[in-house]
Chains A and B, each alone.
Chain A
Amino acid sequence: EVQLVESGGGLVQPGRSLKLSCAASGFTFSSFPMAWVRQAPKKGLEWVASISSGGGGTYYPDSVKGRFTISRDNAKSTLYLQMDSLRSEDTASYYCARSIYYYSSYLDYWGQGVMVTVSS
């Protein structure tokens, strides 16, 4: 059974940093691209980062480019999202998800999500 379990969320002040983790199991992690998607309270979904299966390729939308960094450790089957210079508009639930293709893809499995609140 595919499982994705996020951790690392919490309350952080504007301008500070936070690193999310996503532990994967039940599939060959190193064979799949992965993604982070966020959902602000009572809002829709926004794709925030993608990474290729080997980790050599990454993609970010303009809203987070230069502030967020996606990475992975295939030996540990773990996905990461480093979030720097956080803003109030980054407040959201963050989901890690398995991607079929790198960058433009549907997402076939999602974690339960972790809440990030950016507030002073």
Chain B
Amino acid sequence: DIQMTQSPSLLSASVGDRVTLNCKASQNIYKNLAWYQQKLGEAPKLLIYNANSLQTGIPSRFSGSGSGTDFTLTISSLQPEDVATYFCQQYYSGSTFGAGTKLELK
């Protein structure tokens, strides 16, 4: 099985900060990676698919990059409503999710 490792597990940042979340796959998954946002008590929401494609309706301050084994999700200017846990998911072989990065306001 492909393992997904997210870092950091907890990230504190201020409104307006540029924030970078990391996701590493245990083997090459090419660009078969998605990012989801999950706010407290809510269902996950798709942000990014195919590593760098922005889902319809998602603000442009969110962007994804990477290929192979190393991927990043960047929020260009953190907003209060971005407080959430972010999960990456590989879908190159079956599907596995990372453990998540909890993003909080400093």
Contacts and interface: CB of A to CB of B under 8 A. Distances in A.
Interface stretch (A7-15, A23-31, A69-77, A101-109): A101-109
Chain A residues touching B, majority SS:
loop
Contact of B94 (A47, A95, A107, A110): A47
Interface residues of B, number: 23
A6 to B, nearest CB: 10
Interface string B75-91: 00000000000010101
Nearest to B45: A110
A119 interface: no
Contacts of B89: 45, 106-107
A44 B43 contact: no
B70 to A, nearest CB: 18
Contacts of B96: 47
Contact of A108 (B32, B46, B92, B94): B46
B101 to A, nearest CB: 11
A44 B102 CA distance: 11
A24 B15 CA distance: 37
Contacts of A105: 91, 95
A61 interface: yes
Nearest to B95: A47
Contacts of A109: 46
Contacts of A82: none
25 contacts: A44-B97, A44-B98, A45-B36, A45-B97, A47-B95, A47-B97, A59-B94, A61-B94, A100-B49, A103-B95, A104-B32, A104-B92, A104-B94, A104-B95, A105-B91, A106-B49, A107-B46, A107-B89, A108-B46, A108-B55, A109-B46, A110-B44, A112-B42, A112-B43, A113-B43
Given A44-B98, A47-B95, A104-B91, 14 more contacts: A44-B97, A45-B87, A47-B94, A104-B93, A104-B94, A104-B95, A106-B34, A106-B49, A106-B89, A106-B91, A108-B46, A108-B55, A110-B43, A112-B43
